[in-house]
Structure 1
């Protein structure tokens, strides 16, 4: 999971939560920084410093971001992918096909 680009904070991306902070991050870092790397020793703070200064709106966004991130702790286990379109949580072409046509009208 990528820290700067995925929707990892209460279903929001950092770009949506703090756009001025996001704009200060170098594109290369946005595309590569994982959640684990960012939270380890608070490396995400260094990403902002390397990206440039923050405006007043950026500081407000930073404080909002800090509030969201400060209580996150990652488990020592690997991430698990869960397919939301099936009760079992496992992907199947049948469940994808069924979801694709969900709500369609049969003549």
Structure 2
């Protein structure tokens, strides 16, 4: 959230994030130390003859002078209006809060990035898209996955070829029966399908 200044009456000049992403008290700590009225509003501060009117003394050279020049340049661009101050939501261009924007932010922050993006084909039934997504994430109830979830399985070996564990990758791309089916489907469609060894390929 960020304060959007209208008339400046309900926004703290030093302590609210209204002109920068952080409060001015953090951007200009030496000037904040000179301020007698720490809770002064934007409206009150800008209406004063100068920005140093409420300081206990004028800024002296060095860092104080540099910070004061920067602050003057920053505040010179501020034009107050007749509207009230309000909070705006930074995660949405409209400035209005939405669950969708919050969820997107949380997902981007917390969820791990996936190597290859999921591709949803609009011309394919949704159940096929979901099935492909489960294959991509290796979330089908294959023998290997069932065994990893603690379900007692007599054998995790692929029952079709008996050459490897029955995982999604093996079942659809490595198994000799899967490769044979790929070739038969390709011949049936009269279409050249290259051989794949993984979903990513």
User: Counterpart in 2 of 1:79?
Assistant: 85
Name whichever structure is richer in helix by fraction.
1
RMSD between aligned alpha carbons?
2.9
Determine the C-alpha separation between the residues in 2 that align with 1:88 and 1:7. Answer: 18
User: Counterpart in 1 of 2:42?
Assistant: 35
Q: Indicate the SS of the match to 2:52.
A: helix
Residue 26 (structure 2) pairs with residue 21 (structure 1): no
The two structures have a TM-score, normalised by structure 1, of 0.66
Which sections of structure 2, spanning at least 5 residues, go unmatched? Answer: 1-10, 115-136, 138-201
User: Counterpart in 2 of 1:8?
Assistant: 18
The two structures have a TM-score, normalised by structure 2, of 0.40
Q: Aligned runs of 1:33-72 on 2, under 5 Å? A: 33-42=40-49, 44-48=51-55, 50=56, 52=57, 54-57=59-62, 58-72=64-78
- Structure with larger RCO (C-alpha < 8 A, sep 6+): 1
Q: Indicate the SS of the match to 1:102.
A: helix
Deviations 1:55-90 (A, max 9, x none): 322233222222222342211212343322235432
Q: Indicate the SS of the match to 1:20.
A: helix
